[in-house]
Amino acid sequence: MSTPADPGAPAGAPTAARELPPLWESVKASLRGHREDYTTLPLPRAVMLLAIPMALELLMESTFGLVDIYFVGKLGPAAVATVGISGSLVILVFAAALGLSIGATATVARRIGENDPAGAATAGAQAILAGILFSVPVSVIGWIYAPELLQMMGASGDVVEGESYTAVLLAGSPTIFLLFLNNAVFRGAGDAAIAMRSLWLANILNMVLDPCLIFGWGPFPEMGLTGAAVATTIGRGAGVAFQFWALTTGDRRVKIDAAACRFNPPVMRGLLRISGTAILQFFVATASWLGMMRIVAEFGDDVLAGYTIAVRLIHFAILPSWGMSNATSTLVGQNLGAKRPDRAEEAVWLTGRYNLYLLATIAVLFWFGADWMVGVFSTDPAVIAPGVLVLRISALAYCFSAFSMVFSNAFNGAGDSDTPFYLNVVVLWMGQIPLGYLLAIPMGWGVTGVLTAIVVSQASWALAGGWLFKKGKWKEHKA
């Protein structure tokens, strides 16, 4: 149990030393939702108590994609390619949702660090309102124009025939926005265990419904590829329902009531100031990813299917790593709110080192286990070969990705969403896409050219981000 700070101590002063339980006992308590003061807890422990539930949370989000690919893979390469191109469209929705969630996490964390739970609740409620307003038009456009969107992405005729899968996923955009935003509120408050549980619920339901709706098991209709989209949307919807229950009941750090839900222009403006650039930040990154997917689509459905399987496996590995780096946003926001900027900086470097250990392990597993991993999802050699290539070359970038993720979350957690945005424009749009196209098509490197460009861009982002972080201007931003 946390010891409260001495009320007579200066702002930001650490509490007196206290005896701590074994780390594993603290981890178990964290997973049960036990509260800690992350502005005073020893940093190695604070990082682990936030990072473990956050990593498990995003592990569940990445499992959505793997479960879909596993069952959809039974329907053939065209179905897998449909999932891949549809995923590249849905990732645009993720970009907007993630951008809004950056503002939510930064603002809520800062209010919690200032010991202002009412302000944190108001910020969370305004973020949720913004998410609803953003998601409705996206849902309508996606439902109506799914075929045109697939054609725009260079999909073959067989892939465009799977338009209903794309339409259902995009129509379910409100569940994506709310799932991200509600969990951003929990993360900003330090209630990472609640965010984790909502993704567990959503994912378990998706895993149960996926084969039932795809293949028509038991009393369920056989919906084929569309069933995968329906299962995912229902699962996410259940997760959102659980989140709203947790946000409005019980004894939470952030409890949203009717007063917090009233439109608050000053708070909304502050939130959108951070989130506006953050949305652009993620749109730039997503557009770059879409550009690389568009280049890969030039090499046919088999190559695109192998690339898609590998990308889903990478997301499965990378999202838990993002979960660990998400701990940075909470620690930076809360410690800046508590007037402890040096502690915030120390937390970033420590989390980066832990993230490096995690991704180095994953890189080794991908390098030596690529054939087996891709083979789980397809038995077609024409699909397996490019998938293995993607896993192995991508692994070379992980030592850089470990720190680029953490630096990005540190800037965003401080409310400085401008810096990652400008880095994304320069490194991804001005560097990665042109280089990927040049190497892949004019120089004839194929998919290897695309992957080489990705490795170069990851290294460039990490080095530039580290230099800007060391300059320390992020400590001056308001949230």
Q: What is the pLDDT of residue 192?
A: 81
DSSP string, 390-403: HHHHHHTTHHHHHH
For 233-257, b/e burial (b = at least 16 CB within 10 A) is bbbbbbbbebbeebbeeeebbbbbe
> Where in 231-334 does DSSP place strands (E)?
none
Q: Is residue 110 in a domain? A: yes
The confidence score (pLDDT) of residue 420 equals: 93
Is a pLDDT exceeding 80 seen at residue 207? yes
- pLDDT of res. 18: 58
> For 277-309, what is each residue's pLDDT tens digit?
888 888 888 788 778 888 888 888 788 888 888
Task: Report pLDDT for 61.
Answer: 67
Beta strand spans in 45-90 (E): none
DSSP states along 233-251: HHHHHHHHHHHHHHHHSSS
What per-residue confidence (pLDDT) applies to 234?
94
- For residues 423 and 476, what is the distance between their CA atoms, to the nearest angstrom? 19
pLDDT band at 87 (very low <50, low <70, confident <90, very high): confident
Q: What is the per-residue pLDDT for 344?
A: 93
Residue in the structure block whose two tokens are 């379910």: 172
Sign for the CA dihedral angle at 405, 406, 410, 411 comes to: negative
Nearest to 320 by CA among 240, 416, 423, 401: 401
pLDDT at 11: 41
Is 255 part of any domain? yes
Burial degree of 45 (CB within 10 A; 0-12, 13-18, 19+): middle
pLDDT greater than 80 at residue 443: yes
| Whether 60 contacts 203, CB under 8 Å | yes
Examine residue 135 and state whether it is found in any structural domain, yes or no: yes
Q: From residue 190, how far is each of 110, 256, 468 by CA, in Å?
A: 11, 15, 27
Please check the confidence at residue 168 and state whether its pLDDT lies above 80.
yes
Pairwise CA distance, residues 368 & 358, whole Å: 16
Q: Judge residue 7's burial from the number of C-beta atoms within 10 Å of its C-beta, 0-12 exposed, 13-18 middle, 19 or more buried.
A: exposed
pLDDT of amino acid 243: 94
Quick one: pLDDT at residue 345?
95
Question: Looking at residue 476, what DSSP letter applies?
Answer: G
Structural domain contains residue 348? yes
Whether this model's pTM surpasses 0.95: no
Report the number of distinct structural domains present in the chain.
1
Residue 7 pLDDT > 60: no
- Does residue 15 belong to any structural domain of this protein? no
Angle among Cα 413, 418, 421 to the nearest 5 degrees reads: 100
pLDDT at 10: 39
Lowest mean pLDDT among 27-41, 42-56, 100-114, 184-198: 27-41
pLDDT per residue over 321-352, tens digit each?
A: 887 888 899 999 999 998 999 999 999 999 99
Three-class secondary structure of residue 223 per DSSP: coil
- Report yes or no on 243 lying in a domain: yes
On whether residue 470 sits in a domain, the answer given is yes
Taking the C-alpha atoms of residue 462 and residue 404, their distance in angstroms, rounded to an integer, is 4
Phi–psi pair at 201, nearest 5 degrees: -60, -50
Mean pLDDT, the chain, as a whole number? 85
* Beta-carbon count within 10 A of 87 CB: 21
How far, in Å, CA of 3 to CA of 20, rounded? Answer: 11
Least confident of 79-88, 305-314, 448-457, 470-479: 79-88
Whether 211 is covered by a domain: the verdict is yes
Residue numbers of the domain that contains 468? 40-476
The Cα–Cα gap between 158 and 300 comes to: 12
Over residues 10-69, the pLDDT tens digits come to 344 444 455 777 777 777 777 776 777 888 888 888 888 888 888 777 776 666 667 777
Tens-place pLDDT, residues 399-417: 899 999 999 999 999 989 8
Distance CA 102, CA 245 (A): 22
8 Å CB contact between 449 and 436? yes
Burial class (CB in 10 A: 0-12, 13-18, 19+), 78: buried
- Contact 463/399 with Cβ under 8 angstroms? no
Judged against a pLDDT cut of 90, whether residue 242 lies above it is answered with yes
